[in-house]
Structure 1
Amino acid sequence: MIFALVYCTAGISGGHINPAVTFGLFLARKLSLTRAIFYIIMQCLGAICGAGVVKGFQQGLYMGNGGGANVVASGYTKGDGLGAEIVGTFILVYTVFSATDAKRNARDSHVPVSTPAPSFL
């Protein structure tokens, strides 16, 4: 799914579908503050709309699973969950930076293929 979203939005927003990636690109000065804020607001609104669609089609599952909210599994602390989120987000942002590096050859850059890979971890 991420592959399709990045591929479809690459020409519009550069494939920005995650606020962490947008924020990272802003910090690297590859994106203006105005554009970063706009993208992050739109990404959050898109997530809210997506949750609404899921709730509309699968209300029983939606409510039975806490509305899709992530929780830390039993046996792990909130610190463990936070650490896992930090590492996962770092890997995602690092992958995007590596895949979109202008110094890489065009044949080396597989942005739509490599970007969703960290999501499977």
Structure 2
Amino acid sequence: MQVKSPEFKVPELRDLERSPQPLAAEFVGTLLLVFFAVGAAVLAGEYIGTLGIALAFGFTLLALAYTLGPISGCHVNPAVTLGVLMARRISLETAVKYWIAQLVGGIAGAALLFLVAKQVPGLKTSETFGSNGFGDRSAVHINTGGAFVSELVLTFLLVYVVLGVTHRVAVTGFDGLPIGIALGTIHLIGIPLTGTSVNPARSLGPAVFAGGAALSQLWLFIVAPLVGGVLAAVVHALTHPQPEGVLGLHAPQRQRG
């Protein structure tokens, strides 16, 4: 007797707006990304180094993409959601709900990580705690302008890959593989520069618990990734065949059903 693997339906816009499951998936996914990937830097950074941290981010997102992709698209990142919104794959209402779920999830993941870190004697959690930074908070002391440009370009790559390998909302088939590889590569480059954000929710959570300069520099790691997400959507519309309604180029067609 042959057992069939479960089939996942690609989420439609109306499904995302009516069901609480995509929002729960975005909350849980962002929580897990922050806890495990940022946790790799906070709890194990001196043992695994930059390569290990980069792999932790890439592998965590890869696992989440296959787990949550059929449910919510596995954005777990406000910049990705903004790019998908610009591509007219979700509505503004859904995007706002995703952003709330992601930001709350990022803070919850950081809170859980903070709780664990506090149980490790001698582990410093103030000022750093896996937060992003520039100037004297950067390993290479990159300045504000350099940090902004690097975060913009690195986020551009991530969102561009997400838009390029997915159709509509869901992550299916082998879509998760290039997304995870892209995030890992991005961290190999970005960790020495800013600690790598490319994700406002990932930056917000640790900064809340690090305090001090981490909070005062947080604006850059919110603005630059969002700008990178917008640019990725614009360039994707120029380089890939687009359905009508993308980026407002044509009037969107009403869905039937």
TM-score normalised by structure 2 residue count: 0.42
Instruction: Say which of 102, 113, 117 aligns to 1:54.
Output: 113
What per-residue deviation string (whole Å, max 9, x for no partner) do you get for residues 6-49 of structure 1? 11111211122111110001011111011100011101111101
More helix by share: 1
The alpha-carbon deviation at position 78 of structure 1 amounts to 1.0
2:138 equivalent to 1:76: no
Report whether the alignment pairs 1:97 with 2:163: yes
5+ residue gaps, structure 1, are none
* Offset of residue 67 of structure 1: 2.7
Write the distance in 1 (CA, Å) between the matches of 2:107 and 2:124.
Answer: 13
Alpha-carbon shift at residue 65 of structure 1 (Å): 5.7
Correspondences of 1:1-121 after superposition (within 5 Å): 1-59=60-118, 61=123, 63=125, 66-72=128-134, 73=138, 74-101=140-167, 110-120=174-184, 121=186
**Contact 1:26/1:32, CA 8 A, preserved across alignment:** yes
Contact 1:88 1:118 in 2 (8 A): no
**CA distance in structure 1 between the partners assigned to 2:64 and 2:145 by the alignment:** 31
| TM-aligned CA distance change 1:62 to 1:10, over 3 Å | farther
Could you state the TM-score of these two structures normalised by the residue count of structure 1?
0.85
Which amino acid in structure 2 is aligned with residue 14 of structure 1? Answer: G
Query: Once superposed, which parts of structure 1, at least 4 consecutive aligned residues long, lie more than 3 Å away?
Result: none
AA aligned to 2:97 is: F
Q: C-alpha root-mean-square deviation of aligned residues, in Å?
A: 1.9
Q: Percent identity?
A: 34
The structure-2 alpha-carbon separation of the partners of 1:95 and 1:61, relative to structure 1 and needing over 3 Å to count, comes to farther
1:62 & 1:35 partners in 2: Cα distance?
38
Rounded to whole Å, the distance in 2 between the matches of 1:75 and 1:2 is 28
Aligned-residue offset at 1:62: 5.5
Matched residue SS, 2:129: helix
Structure 2 residue ranges without an equivalent (≥5): 1-59, 187-257
Q: Which amino acid aligns with 1:112?
A: G
Deviations 1:50-101 (A, max 9, x none): 1011100012546156232111224321111111100010000000011114
Alpha-carbon separation, structure 1, partners of 2:124 and 2:79:
25
Q: SS at 1:68's partner residue?
A: coil
